[in-house]
């Protein structure tokens, strides 16, 4: 792509002058030597390497463990902008939780004709085993990541919802820690809201969601698939920060009607299990019988009120991109208000008219799998070759209901520190939300992902993207 000047730049706006949120940072930046910043940037990379902040890339031969590139130029959001976003995020998360409760109970939204029944009945993420069951505290989505993009000064859109197992929060925390070490003077000069309290906030939220059988000090643990999982660093990081045990399936068993973990003193019952194992592998007696990652019998204990599983099994249906296309209707149905945050216009390829439009305009659209994540299995039409477009057209014709399509948005840019100096790159934002019976907490800022390749719109780390520290100002 070309013509970067046509995109809204969050630091410089339309080019007529630096935007207000960046005024103080820009004044500091003008007094800095570019070579010094380049040197500090290399220090940041060395810090990440020493700390072991890596992720695994699936589907590539040879060594697949990589560092996530970190850019030292922060993304800065004004207090007023952030408060507006928080209201929209809270509304959306409430609606998602209400939607999940409804589709596993009376399915009033289907009875009302607001979404088609086949979207639930034919959805592989829908778990019949959850029908009629309400999780402890009535919460399905304890941890949510809402992916936002910006196209103008006051234009934000939700790109997708992550209600199953949103990842990346460890990078948000390590990014801030790195910036505090490298540029302590900036944080004295610019009042920025804290993100370091996230682990304590998460622990409180999970404790508040414990089952009735739990004591006032519930026992919690994080269930990981193991060291070969792409997010294993994050699992171990969060366990350490929260002061809870990191366990694998073989560390757990059902003992006296409870899920218990092996300790040096024997087996200790767990009240809340923050699982980072997919639904299909959670319980071999209920789902995939060949799974070695989960706990045989955990679903029976869950349904009997003996444990809280976060996020609840079956929440992945809210991540479905076909369901996403109905989110404005879902929000209004459950909250009685229009959605405060806009959706990106979405074409459901399973519908004949939409499929015809998408096939005719494939070179101008972004096409995604309805259950896809991480940037895998998607087509960015404007950047695709003729051969890639033809191959994707064949996929669409073979399984149209497996895809949705969206227009190519003019994502905002934020400068990165490139070898040649500051250079604009496209970004998105993933704020993290903690939901419990006591309320909703939105972490100030979240994870900014940045497309490091010039002109690229794909920010996912698995596709070559990097991250930035996200600063929400205390006041404007």
- Whether residue 428 contacts residue 162, with contact meaning beta carbons closer than 8 Å, is answered with no
Summarize the confidence of residues 128-152 as an average pLDDT. Answer: 97
State pLDDT tens for residues 181-205: 999 999 999 999 999 999 999 999 9
Summarize the confidence of residues 26-38 as an average pLDDT. Answer: 92
Q: How big is the CA angle at 442 (ends 458 and 207), to the nearest 5 degrees? A: 120
Going by pLDDT thresholds of 50, 70 and 90, the confidence category of residue 65 is: low
For residues 363 and 420, which has the higher predicted lDDT (pLDDT)?
363
262 C-beta neighbours (distance < 10 Å), count: 15
One-character DSSP codes across 43-88: HHHHHHHHHT-EEE-TT-SS--EEEPPEEEEEEEE-HHHHHHHHHH
**Mean pLDDT of all residues in the chain?**
92
Helix (H, G, I), strand (E, B) or coil at 289: coil
341 C-beta neighbours (distance < 10 Å), count: 19
Going by pLDDT thresholds of 50, 70 and 90, the confidence category of residue 54 is: low
State pLDDT tens for residues 307-349: 999 999 999 999 998 899 999 999 999 999 999 999 999 999 9
Share of the chain above pLDDT 70, in %: 94
pLDDT of 52 reads 67
Q: Which two tokens stand for residue 94?
A: 């409430």
pLDDT of 58 reads 47
pLDDT of 55 reads 56
What CA–CA distances, in Å, run from 343 to 319, 330, 381, 406, 436? 14, 12, 20, 10, 25
**Range with lowest mean pLDDT among 65-74, 98-107, 131-140:** 65-74
56 pLDDT above the threshold of 60: no
Query: 36 exposed, middle or buried (CB, 10 Å; 0-12, 13-18, 19+)?
Result: exposed
pLDDT of 425 reads 95
Q: Say how far apart CA 344 and CA 136 lie, in whole Å.
A: 33
Going by pLDDT thresholds of 50, 70 and 90, the confidence category of residue 462 is: low
Query: Is the overall model pTM greater than 0.85, yes or no?
Result: yes
State pLDDT tens for residues 7-25: 899 999 877 789 999 999 9
Q: What are phi and psi of 463, to 5 degrees?
A: -110, 20
pLDDT of 476 reads 79
Going by pLDDT thresholds of 50, 70 and 90, the confidence category of residue 231 is: confident
Domain map (residue ranges) of the chain? 345-408
* CA-based end-to-end distance of the chain: 34
> Sign of torsion, CA 150 433 314 224?
positive
Share of the chain above pLDDT 90, in %: 79
State pLDDT tens for residues 396-435: 999 999 999 999 888 999 999 998 889 999 999 999 999 9
pLDDT of 5 reads 45
47 pLDDT above the threshold of 90: no
Q: How big is the CA angle at 128 (ends 127 and 133), to the nearest 5 degrees? A: 95
297 pLDDT above the threshold of 80: yes
pLDDT of 459 reads 83
3 pLDDT above the threshold of 50: no
pLDDT of 31 reads 92
- Whether residue 408 contacts residue 380, with contact meaning beta carbons closer than 8 Å, is answered with yes
Q: Say how far apart CA 323 and CA 320 lie, in whole Å.
A: 5
Task: Tell whether domain 345-408 is in CATH 3.40.50.300.
Answer: no
Residue in 167, 168, 150 with CA at minimum distance from that of residue 159: 150
Q: How big is the CA angle at 109 (ends 107 and 114), to the nearest 5 degrees? A: 145
């Amino acid at each position: 792509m070309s013509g970067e000047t046509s995109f809204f730049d969050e630091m410089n706006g339309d080019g007529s002058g630096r935007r207000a949120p960046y005024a103080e940072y820009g004044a500091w930046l003008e007094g800095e030597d570019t070579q010094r910043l380049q040197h500090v940037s290399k220090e940041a990379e060395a810090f990440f390497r020493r700390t072991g902040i890596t992720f695994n890339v699936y589907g590539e031969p040879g060594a697949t463990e990589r560092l996530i590139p970190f850019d030292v130029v922060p993304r800065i959001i004004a207090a007023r902008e952030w408060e507006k976003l928080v209201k929209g995020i809270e509304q959306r998360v409430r609606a998602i939780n209400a939607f999940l409760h409804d589709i596993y109970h009376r399915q009033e939204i289907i009875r009302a004709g607001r979404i088609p029944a086949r979207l639930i009945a034919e959805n592989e993420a829908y778990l019949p085993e959850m029908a009629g069951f309400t999780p402890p505290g009535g919460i399905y989505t304890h941890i949510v990541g809402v992916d936002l993009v910006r196209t103008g000064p006051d234009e934000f859109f939700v790109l997708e919802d992550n209600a199953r197992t949103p990842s990346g929060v460890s990078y948000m925390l390590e990014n801030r820690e790195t910036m505090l070490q490298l540029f302590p003077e900036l944080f004295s000069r610019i009042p920025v809201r804290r993100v370091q309290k996230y682990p304590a906030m998460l622990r409180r939220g999970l404790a508040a969601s414990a089952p009735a059988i739990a004591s006032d000090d519930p026992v919690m643990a994080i269930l990981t698939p193991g060291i070969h999982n792409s997010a294993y660093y994050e699992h171990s990081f969060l366990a350490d920060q929260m002061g809870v045990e990191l366990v694998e399936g073989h560390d757990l068993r059902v003992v006296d009607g409870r899920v218990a973990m092996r300790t040096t003193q024997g087996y200790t019952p767990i009240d809340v299990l923050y699982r980072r194992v997919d639904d299909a592998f959670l319980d071999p007696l209920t789902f995939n019988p060949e799974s070695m990652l989960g706990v045989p019998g955990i679903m029976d204990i869950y349904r009997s009120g003996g444990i809280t599983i976060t996020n609840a099994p079956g929440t992945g249906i809210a991540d479905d991109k076909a369901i996403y296309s109905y989110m404005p209707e879902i929000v209004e149905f459950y909250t009685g208000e229009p959605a405060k945050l806009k959706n990106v216009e979405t074409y459901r390829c399973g519908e004949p008219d939409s499929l015809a439009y998408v096939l005719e305009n494939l070179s101008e659209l972004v096409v995604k799998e309805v259950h896809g994540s991480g940037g895998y299995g998607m087509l960015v039409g404007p950047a695709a070759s003729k051969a890639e477009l033809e191959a994707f057209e064949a996929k669409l014709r073979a399984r149209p209901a497996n895809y949705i399509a969206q227009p190519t948005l003019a994502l905002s840019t934020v400068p990165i520190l490139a070898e040649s100096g500051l250079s604009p790159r496209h970004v998105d934002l993933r704020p993290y939300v903690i939901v419990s019976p006591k309320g909703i907490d939105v972490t100030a800022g979240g994870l900014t992902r940045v497309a490091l390749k010039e002109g690229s719109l794909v920010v996912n780390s698995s596709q070559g993207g990097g991250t930035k520290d996200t600063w929400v100002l205390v006041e404007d």
